[in-house]
Amino acid sequence: MLSFCYLKKGANDTPVYYSMADAGLLQWRPLLYLGYSTLERFLNSNKITSLEHMVSNTSIKLKIPPQNLQDFPLFQLNADAAHAWVQSLPIANTRSVAQQLRHAISDLNHVKLTPEIRYNIMEVLQPKLDVALSNLTKRFLNKPLVMPEEPRQMAELAGSLYSTVTTAYSIVAIQAIQQHESIQGINPARLACEAIQRALTYAGRKALQTFQLFHSIELHGWLTLHQLYALADSQQLLDLPVADSLSGGDTIKATYLQALLLGCCKPNQLSQGDMAALYRGLKDWSMLAVVAAPESGSGLFLVDLDSDQPPLYSSLFTETPGARFRYIDTAPLVEHLEKIKLNDGEHGISFDKDTHIPTNLLAHLIESLGSMSLRNFNRTNSDAPLRISIGLSSSHYHVAGERLFEQLLYGEDYIPPASERVPTNPFHLPQEKGDLWQQANPEEDYSRGGDTAEEEIVEEIEHRVELDGNTRSELLFDEDRQLPPQQRFPIYNVQLTNTSPGGYCIEWTAELPGDTRAGDIVSLKEEHNRDWVIAVIRWVSHVENTRTLIGLELLSPKAMPYGARIHQKTGGKGPPMRVLLLPEIKLVGQPHTLITPRAGFREQQKISLISTGEEYTIQLLRQVAATGSFAQFDFRYIRELGDILAEDKAGHMGSYDSLWSNI
């Protein structure tokens, strides 16, 4: 089997590409498929002496449908007719557009066409295709994990469309290699290179969608990615730049690694938005990872290009890797990310207004790609019931003995001051500005008859206003009219699937809130336990269409609820916010830590912890963990002047010097 060849000539042995059509130098001109003898004659006639040539006998396991469809009625098989057809599709109906595109491309995959015509048609359809996929994505992301029927259908349609487009570009690549001698108007190597890159891009985007829905990669999904890479490797196309890379990397290797490394980042521990942000970041960073054959390299991960498996930790692979294996060395990438974290870690990384990688996500990426992580405990099957409350606010309420935040801070009989009860105190209502005469004669603005058409309209509008419970509780400040605490901080009954000393695995039920996600703080109570246990949702997985599992990692067997007020630079203190103090566990060497909301808290801040009748001053030290929902800090207690005086009030302070020495 012959392969594409390229020449190396010029300063510093940089690649210089030649074409039979022009014996002169062509910068970044695509390669020409040549037989070895033909190429040798070309080199001799042009007095070129440097040549790298690889002949590959490796079989590629990409499957493409037979081109046996005789009739294609949608449009004539050329780019102009395809453009006219795609412009006639209904813009407003996303589902209809996606279905028609899927039908058209699926039929094209069965029609016999030259590779260049097939590629040109696909490029004409591509802009409308990307718009349809983007609109479909908005219909099923950020939905309940157990999706309703309509979002689920949208997700299946998008996944099917990704697969169909991947197949279309794979056909172009394979036939460009097989039919290189008959291709007109475009270099066969360029056509194959761009087609493989496109196929990898859509296959990678489907992998991203699969991860975002917490599903496993479908059958042959990993194999398709590996084999497209292997095809490019056999033709020496991996590192050639692709001008219009869409959402993939700038080369075939970068696009392949973009999807591969996302799979190495424990995506089931991330939110859907975090996965999208990491995928965007890996578009720029993936080329820093090194792919090497077993005889010439090493790395943290190992991948078999002939398998339908994700990358494995290389240290766990006991056999000698064969020729079709590749090491993925992520050390240079991790080193680069650590430098970014050191320089920009406080604020994270922003690619655009909608894509941001915060510090905790960058740390997750570094940890996932920098070291091997294995399960520390064996799991034991269990079917016991478990009570769970989700979120920091809800966990705080239950850990506090079902006391509201204000009651925890100020006592059971706390009544808000008048300034905080504006909605029920007419003397504290702000006065509306307007015409002074209207303020002086307000009765003229109203009809007392009660029968005017205007009043009927107002009454009708007011009658139609409907609010859900959460919105109503946010709008109503009067506690007597708020939702009861049992509805604001609900407890859900779930079933355990298995347990370990480090956590639980529970099965999802329809009653659980739809916005639950990886990284949320939860409080748990087994049937006979007295205390609420604090845990975090570490992963979510859809194992079947009707079954969703959630992995919970235990953080502490108990917690103490407090309000936290941040000391400001002006000398004042911010408003109190809910925090949980996780006490020290000396037996396992776990120090005390503080669970805080994700925003507002940072290392080295001074904090006042307050509860009924007590107040402590602490300083946050190192941030030991963070997710999109909470942060966890080491801290130390600070002794203030009042504390020292209280300790020594029974004794006599001899001098101010002794006071300062105590401080």
- C-alpha distances out from residue 347 to 15, 123, 330, 490, Å: 40, 39, 24, 34
Per-residue H/E/C for 117-155? HHHHHHHHHHHHHHHHHHHHHHHHCCCCCCCCHHHHHHH
User: How many CA within 13 A on the CB side of residue 190?
Assistant: 17
Using one digit for the tens of pLDDT, what is the confidence trace for 547-601?
778 889 899 988 999 999 999 888 888 899 999 999 988 776 788 999 999 888 9
Category of 348 on φ-ψ map: left (φ > 0), alpha (ψ -120 to 50) or beta: left
Q: Which residues contact 146 (CB under 8 A, 6 or more apart)?
A: 508, 510, 514, 548
Q: Which residues contact 482 (CB under 8 A, 6 or more apart)?
A: 473, 476, 488
**Please, what's the b/e burial string for 189-214 (b: 16 or more CB within 10 A of its CB; e: otherwise)?**
bbbbbbbbbbbbbbbbbbbbbbbbbb
Q: Which range, of 429-438, 524-533, 581-590, 615-624, averages the lowest pLDDT?
A: 429-438
**Please, what's the b/e burial string for 534-570 (b: 16 or more CB within 10 A of its CB; e: otherwise)?**
bbbbbbbbbeeeeebbbbbebbbebbbbbbbbbeeee
* Residue whose structure tokens are 């578009």: 283
In the structure encoding, which two tokens stand for residue 90, read together?
């209904």
Q: Is the predicted pLDDT of residue 304 greater than 70, yes or no? A: yes
How many other CB atoms sit within 10 Å of the CB of residue 590? 13
For residues 449-463, average pLDDT: 39
What distance in Å separates the CA atoms of residue 561 and residue 403, rounded to the nearest whole number? 10
* CA distance from start to end of the chain: 82
* pLDDT value, residue 15: 37
Q: Which residues contact 161 (CB under 8 A, 6 or more apart)?
A: 98, 101, 102, 105, 129, 132, 133, 136
Q: What is the DSSP letter of 216?
A: P
- C-alpha distances out from residue 117 to 32, 112, 169, 172, 313, Å: 19, 10, 12, 9, 42
Given pLDDT bands bounded at 50, 70 and 90, which one contains residue 353? confident
Q: Which residues contact 477 (CB under 8 A, 6 or more apart)?
A: 421, 422, 423, 424
* pLDDT value, residue 147: 76
The one-letter code for the residue type at 431 is Q
Q: What is the DSSP letter of 88?
A: T
Q: 380-401+486-556 with 561-647: one CATH topology? A: yes
Q: What percent of the chain has pLDDT over 70?
A: 75
* Partners of 635 in beta bridges: 620
* pLDDT value, residue 132: 94
In the structure encoding, which two tokens stand for residue 588, read together?
């396992």
User: Which residue from 538, 563, 623 is spatially nearest to 392, judged by alpha carbons?
Assistant: 563
What distance in Å separates the CA atoms of residue 196 and residue 236, rounded to the nearest whole number? 12
For residues 402-427, average pLDDT: 70
- C-alpha distances out from residue 517 to 140, 271, 406, 600, Å: 15, 6, 28, 21
For residues 144-154, average pLDDT: 82
Using one digit for the tens of pLDDT, what is the confidence trace for 182-240?
888 888 999 999 999 999 999 999 999 999 988 889 999 999 999 999 999 999 999 99
The one-letter code for the residue type at 360 is N
Q: How is the chain split into domains, by residue range?
A: 1-55, 58-249, 380-401+486-556, 561-647
What distance in Å separates the CA atoms of residue 621 and residue 213, rounded to the nearest whole number? 36
* Residue whose structure tokens are 């109190």: 576
* pLDDT value, residue 502: 80
* pLDDT value, residue 334: 95
Average pLDDT of the chain? 78
Yes or no: is domain 561-647 CATH 2.40.10?
A: yes
User: Which residue from 309, 311, 317 is spatially nearest to 223, judged by alpha carbons?
Assistant: 309
* pLDDT value, residue 446: 38
Q: Is the predicted pLDDT of residue 4 greater than 70, yes or no? A: no
* pLDDT value, residue 623: 86
User: Which residue from 531, 541, 529, 469 is spatially nearest to 505, judged by alpha carbons?
Assistant: 541
Residue 618: strand, helix, or coil = strand
**Pick among 2.40.10.220, 3.20.20.70, 2.120.10.30, 3.30.420.40: CATH of 380-401+486-556:** 2.40.10.220
Q: Is the predicted pLDDT of residue 175 greater than 80, yes or no? A: yes
* Partners of 325 in beta bridges: 304
Using one digit for the tens of pLDDT, what is the confidence trace for 49-95?
322 323 244 577 888 899 888 889 999 999 999 999 999 998 889 99
Please tell me which residue, 268 or 108, carries the higher pLDDT value: 108
